[in-house]
Amino acid sequence: MTDDLRADCSRCQALCCVALPFTASSDFAITKAAGTPCRNLLADHRCGIHTDLRAKGFPGCTVFDCFGAGQKTSQLTFAGQPWRLAGKGERRHMFDAFGIMLNLHELLWYLAQARELKPAASLRDRIIAAYTAVEAVTLSDLDTVLAVDVAAHRKDVNELLLRASELTRATVKGKRADRRGADLMGAKLTSANLAGANLRGAYLIAADLRQADLRLADVIGADFRDTDLRGADLGNALFLTQSQVNAARGDAATRIPATLTRPAHWR
C-alpha cells in the first residue's frame, strides 16, 4: 500500500475536523455542522484532546481514516493554502473537494489491494486501468475534482472488486457463508468459520467474533463498531480498512493485514 493512501495529519489542515458533520451520539459528545470547526480544534490544526478522545466522548474521531485524502486536498488541490484564510466560497470548495477526494481515495485503497490478489490475476490489467483513472482525477485541478461523478466511479470499481472477491474467495474449500448485508448485530459468532465468507455491508455491531476465522472473507463496507475480534484471524481479509479495525475491539492475538496498524486501544 503506498504512502499516498495513508493519512498524514502533519501535512493536512485538519479538514476532517472542519468539513465533516457529526451528531451527538455514542461516537461524538456534541453535534457539529459541516464546515464548522470542532470546538476541540486548536489554531495549529491539532486536536486539543487528542490523547483523551475516547474518554471525552469522541471515539468516532479515533475511528476515522481519510486514506490520505486530507493531505492530497491540502497540499495538491489547494497548494497548501490555509482554509482559515480563504473566503467563504473558496472555503466551501475546499471542503467539498475533500469530501470527493475522500471517496476517491477509498476506492484507490480497495483497488490497490485487488491488484495484488493472485486468484484475480485475469482482472489485473482492468484493475490497474481503473486505479490509474481514479488517481488521475485526484491529481487534477479543482474544477475537475468538483465535477467528478463519484457514484459512477463507485459503480465501475465495485463491479471489479466484486469479481476479484469472487475469484479469490473461490479458493477457499468447503461451503462459504453468504451474509451480504446481513443484520448480525450482537450475534454470537465465537469461533465461527467465516473463511471466504461474503460479509459485504453486513451489520456486525457488537457481534461476538472472538476466535473467528475470517481469512479471505470479503468485509467491504461491513460495520465493525464495537465488534469483539479478540483472537480472530483477519490476516488476509479482503478489503479491510483501518477505520473498520479502529472501530472494533481486539487484542494481541487478533490477526490483521500488515498494511494496517494495530489500534492503541486494543489490549
How many angstroms separate the CA atoms of 1 and 155, rounded?
22
11 and 126 share a domain? yes
24-79: per-residue pLDDT in tens? 999 999 999 999 999 999 999 999 999 999 999 999 999 999 999 999 999 999 99
Tell which of 137, 169, 201 closes a domain.
Answer: 169
Tell which of 169, 203, 230 closes a domain.
Answer: 169
Cα–Cα distances in angstroms (integers) from residue 137 to residues 52, 71, 147, in the given order = 37, 15, 10
149 and 23 share a domain? yes
10 and 123 share a domain? yes
* Domain containing residue 205: 174-267
Confidence label for 267 from pLDDT (cuts 50, 70 and 90) = confident
Mean pLDDT of 8-19: 95
181-202: per-residue pLDDT in tens? 999 999 999 999 999 999 999 9
45 and 134 share a domain? yes
How many angstroms separate the CA atoms of 50 and 56, rounded?
10
Enumerate the β-bridge partners of residue 213: 193, 233
Q: Helix, strand, or coil here: 195?
A: coil
47 and 162 share a domain? yes
Q: How many residues does the chain have?
A: 267
Mean pLDDT of 210-226: 98
Q: Is the pLDDT of residue 2 over 80?
A: no
13 and 118 share a domain? yes
Q: pTM, whole model, 2 decimals?
A: 0.94
91 and 208 share a domain? no
Per-residue confidence (pLDDT) for residue 1, from 0 to 100 = 67
The residue type of 215 is R
Tell which of 169, 201, 220 closes a domain.
Answer: 169
What CATH number is given to the structural domain containing 255?
2.160.20.80
Reading the block at residue 259, the C-alpha cell is: 498494511
Enumerate the β-bridge partners of residue 22: 32
178 and 150 share a domain? no
How many angstroms separate the CA atoms of 62 and 52, rounded?
10
How many angstroms separate the CA atoms of 70 and 66, rounded?
6
Identify which of 62, 138, 147 has the alpha carbon closest to the alpha carbon of residue 103: 138
140 and 207 share a domain? no
> What's the structural domain count of the chain?
2
Cα dihedral across residues 244, 248, 250, 254: positive or negative = negative
146 and 217 share a domain? no
102-119: per-residue pLDDT in tens? 999 999 999 999 999 999
150 and 164 share a domain? yes
Q: Is the pLDDT of residue 94 over 70?
A: yes
183 and 165 share a domain? no
